[in-house]
Amino acid sequence: MIYLDYAATAPMRECALDAMNDVMRHAWGNPSSIHEEGARAKAVLEDARERIAAILGCRPSEFLFTSGGTESDSTALLSAAEAGRRAGHRHIVTSAIEHHAVLRPLEKLAKNGFDVTELRPDGDGMISTEAVRDAIRQDTCLVSVMTANNETGVLQPVGEIGELCRARGIPFHTDAVQTAGHLPTLPAEIGCDTLAVSAHKFGGPRGAGFLYVRRGAPLTPLLLGGNQERGRRAGTENVAAIAGMTAALEESVHAMQGEAERLTVLRDRLAAGLLAIPRSVLNGHPAKRLPNNVNVSFEGVEGEPLILLLDERGIRASSGAACSAGALEPSHVLTAMGQPPELAVGSLRLTLGPDTDEAAVDLTVEAVRDVVRRLRSQSPDWQAKCEGKKAFLIEN
Ligand SMILES: *Cc1c(COP(=O)(O)O)cnc(C)c1O
């Protein structure tokens, strides 16, 4: 089996499994209990908090543990909107290529009286700082732009956007789920007020994450109840998952530089192999993208059958297009980049990880070439189109 869907989720790192196992066996108490079992769990929790703060370069009080990227995004966005509403500021700037964990809460805010500006990326999938600058108004209460897109891997100029927002005094949220543990992701360097991270994208468990909240930034809790996380996120802490996430993040960050260099070479080899297939296009900027992301569309090929045929051959891939209600929905990211729907339904996203090697890349290129040829040979539309072109060429 060749797993090339690391952007969807990564297999658990051994160190994370060990850390979780250890906590579930030996530190299973409720960290809020004052007896010894509780104290043991609390010690694990506070140790994790310090280690993550060291990685982020922030204070241990500057982030809260959550159930993952989605909760972190929702908390940050709804909280910033609440602060805006109180100040009479109801304008939000975001990008059309955000993850649904950002787009859906903003859609809800739009229904509740907020004015949301969704910026389009350029053809390479990048949001420009100038576009953010032009969109900001007197009543803007939030800017939200992701560090890297989850479909194309394109890196966004969040450092510049952060600087701009700081200068204008506007809260800036960034969904950093795709860069945390993969590329340097330091809140102080980005200049953001809030930053969302999910554990399962770097080898931690699903259902764990955290939200960085700059000291002094207002935070309205999403979940109400007990006084956990200094009253900012109620609910008994998932100490085992937090310990697993911390171990996985430390290991990822430790290996980050070398791994980024290694994956960049493999990524470019994979992209070159796939682009040698006739009538294929690379989606997103060729270089300003995550070291582990290749996203290609093949004319005349739909994403879903492509993924299923690759799966039969033991290759796990993904498509930006999703089948909803029986119809293939083109990817909102590729559509926003200006891709025609016939290409936006046919994207293949391959995301590499620690287990990926050159042999896996070469086998994948072979398999994709075969599968694309097969799907095209079965498509009457594609055949007609090719014959039309041939006839056209002969006539001229
Ligand atoms: C996976 C992902 C999320 C959601 O994180 P969960 O922990 O699965 O809720 C949010 N944003 C981006 C960019 C992602 O890739």
Distance 122 CA to ligand 1 centre (A): 23
What would you measure as the largest C-alpha separation in the chain, in angstroms?
A: 87
- 222 and 330 part of one domain: no
Number of compact structural domains in the chain: 2
Reply yes or no on whether the pLDDT at 391 is more than 90. no
- 320 and 342 part of one domain: yes
Which residues are catalytic, by number? 323
Cβ neighbour number for residue 376 with a 10 Å cutoff: 20
Ligand 1 pocket test, candidate residues 9, 99, 349, 351, most atoms within 8 A of CB = 99
DSSP-assigned letter for residue 356:
-
Instruction: Answer yes or no: is 395 within a domain.
Output: no
pLDDT at 381: 80
Instruction: Answer yes or no: is 381 within a domain.
Output: yes
Of 214, 238, 253, which residue sits at a domain end?
253
- Calculate the average pLDDT of the chain: 95
Provide the sign of the torsion angle of the four alpha carbons 369, 371, 374, 378, taken in this order: negative
pLDDT average, residue stretch 80-86 = 98
CB–CB of 303/348 below 8 Å? yes
**Whose CA is closest to 249, among 13, 17, 7?**
13
- 165 and 116 part of one domain: yes
Distance 33 CA to ligand 1 centre (A): 32
Task: Domain of residue 314: give its range.
Answer: 256-386
- 112 and 38 part of one domain: yes
HSE toward the beta carbon, residue 343, CA cutoff 13 A: 18
Find the distance separating the first CA and the last CA of the chain, reported in whole Å: 48
- 281 and 187 part of one domain: no
| Domain containing residue 59: CATH number | 3.40.640.10
> Which pLDDT tens digit goes with each residue over 32-76?
999 999 999 999 999 999 999 999 999 999 999 999 999 999 999
Ligand 1 pocket test, candidate residues 77, 95, 150, 156, most atoms within 8 A of CB = 150
> Which pLDDT tens digit goes with each residue over 123-137?
999 999 999 999 999
Residues of 223-246 as b/e, b for ≥16 C-beta within 10 angstroms?
eeeeebbeebbeeebbbbbbbbbb
Q: pTM here?
A: 0.96
- 291 and 343 part of one domain: yes
pLDDT band at 394 (very low <50, low <70, confident <90, very high): very low
Q: What is the amino acid identity at position 153? A: G
Instruction: Answer yes or no: is 378 within a domain.
Output: yes
pLDDT average, residue stretch 366-387 = 90
Of 192, 220, 253, which residue sits at a domain end?
253
> Which pLDDT tens digit goes with each residue over 146-174?
999 999 999 999 999 999 999 999 999 99
> Which atom of ligand 1 has the smallest separation from the CA of 8?
1
Instruction: Answer yes or no: is 248 within a domain.
Output: yes
Rounded CA-CA distance 160/189 in Å is: 10
Rounded CA-CA distance 283/269 in Å is: 16
Closest Cα to atom 14 of ligand 1: 177
CB–CB of 233/222 below 8 Å? yes
pLDDT band at 320 (very low <50, low <70, confident <90, very high): confident
Rounded CA-CA distance 31/43 in Å is: 8
Reply yes or no on whether the pLDDT at 324 is more than 70. no
pLDDT at 367: 98
- 93 and 154 part of one domain: yes
Q: Where are the beta strands (DSSP E) in the chain?
A: 2-3, 63-66, 91-95, 115-119, 140-144, 172-175, 194-198, 209-213, 280-282, 293-298, 315-316, 322-324, 327-329, 347-351
Q: List CB contacts of 238: < 8 A, sequence separation 6 or more.
A: 65, 67, 207, 208
- 327 and 192 part of one domain: no
Check residues 342 and 93 and name the one with the higher pLDDT: 93
Cβ neighbour number for residue 67 with a 10 Å cutoff: 18
pLDDT at 104: 97
pLDDT at 327: 67
Reply yes or no on whether the pLDDT at 392 is more than 70. no
HSE toward the beta carbon, residue 205, CA cutoff 13 A: 20
pLDDT at 334: 95
Ligand 1 site residues (CB inside 6 A) read 68-70, 99, 101, 146, 150, 175, 177-178, 198, 200-201, 209
Instruction: Answer yes or no: is 24 within a domain.
Output: yes
pLDDT band at 390 (very low <50, low <70, confident <90, very high): low
HSE toward the beta carbon, residue 349, CA cutoff 13 A: 26
pLDDT at 45: 98
pLDDT at 396: 33
> Which pLDDT tens digit goes with each residue over 210-229?
999 999 999 999 999 999 99
Instruction: Answer yes or no: is 375 within a domain.
Output: yes
pLDDT at 59: 98
pLDDT at 389: 65
pLDDT at 386: 79
Q: What is the amino acid identity at position 43? A: A
Reply yes or no on whether the pLDDT at 393 is more than 70. no
Percentage of the residues of the chain whose pLDDT score is greater than 90: 90
- 216 and 310 part of one domain: no
Tokens for 186, please give them: 């330091």
Cβ neighbour number for residue 9 with a 10 Å cutoff: 15
> Which pLDDT tens digit goes with each residue over 248-299?
999 999 999 999 999 999 999 999 999 999 999 999 999 999 999 999 999 9
Reply yes or no on whether the pLDDT at 340 is more than 70. yes
- 131 and 147 part of one domain: yes
- 150 and 126 part of one domain: yes
> Which atom of ligand 1 has the smallest separation from the CA of 69?
5
Q: Angle 61-12-22 (CA atoms, 0-180°, nearest 5)? A: 65
Reply yes or no on whether the pLDDT at 384 is more than 90. no
| Domain containing residue 323: CATH number | 3.90.1150.10
Of 253, 268, 292, which residue sits at a domain end?
253
pLDDT at 395: 38
- 303 and 226 part of one domain: no
Instruction: Answer yes or no: is 5 within a domain.
Output: no
Reply yes or no on whether the pLDDT at 325 is more than 70. no
> Which atom of ligand 1 has the smallest separation from the CA of 148?
13
Instruction: Answer yes or no: is 396 within a domain.
Output: no
